[in-house]
Amino acid sequence: MLEKKGTVLRFSDIEKSALVALLERYGLMLEIVPSTFPIPGSYWGDDEAGLITNVLYSRQETPIHSILHEACHFICMSPKRRETLHTDAGGSDVEEAGVCFLQILLSEELPGVGQARMFADMDAWGYSFRFGTAESWFLNDAEDAREWLLAHCVINSSGQPCGLNMLPDQ
């Protein structure tokens, strides 16, 4: 599915201080890039967020789902991988599922975002899941993602985010 410009929540649409505080809690710094410049470390290009070591790059028009997704890649990787992170976060399929799951959880911490909006924006942007929608996947088919996050100490047994993955590389 192709994204329709303007249909997803963007960095310019939200309260910046809550996002900055969330990122800082996980050791990430946010750097805003002028709209006329390419975003450093962006895997997909265009207005998608970029990631180089612990710096997350965004423009005003960068979608919030993209910022959270890249932040969650950083959160879900080992300290050794974070040191050399540049553009391509890599990781396994189940780690990618964990990243998507965590971005939905963390969306609740941003005023005006939340899970319902994250589900809608992920669907509008074209994330694809076996159950069709992001919400159906999250509610009915994401047990492997949840278990991965739990095993890597990213969420606790109650399903709440609890910090950075501090386990060594697998």
Pairwise CA distance, residues 101 & 104, whole Å:
5
Pairwise CA distance, residues 37 & 39, whole Å:
6
Task: Average the pLDDT over 75-90 and give the result.
Answer: 91
How far is C-alpha 35 from the geometric centre of its chain's CA atoms? 21
Task: Average the pLDDT over 81-104 and give the result.
Answer: 93
- Tens of pLDDT, residue by residue over 3-36, are 445 589 999 999 999 999 999 999 999 999 999 9
Query: For the chain, first and last CA: distance in Å?
Result: 34
The answer to whether 123 touches 30, Cβ cutoff 8 Å, is: no
Residue type at position 34: P
Pairwise CA distance, residues 44 & 167, whole Å:
28
Of the pLDDT bands very low, low, confident and very high (cuts 50, 70, 90), residue 43 is: confident
pLDDT at site 126: 86
pLDDT at 84 over 60: yes
The chain-wide mean pLDDT, for the chain, equals: 90
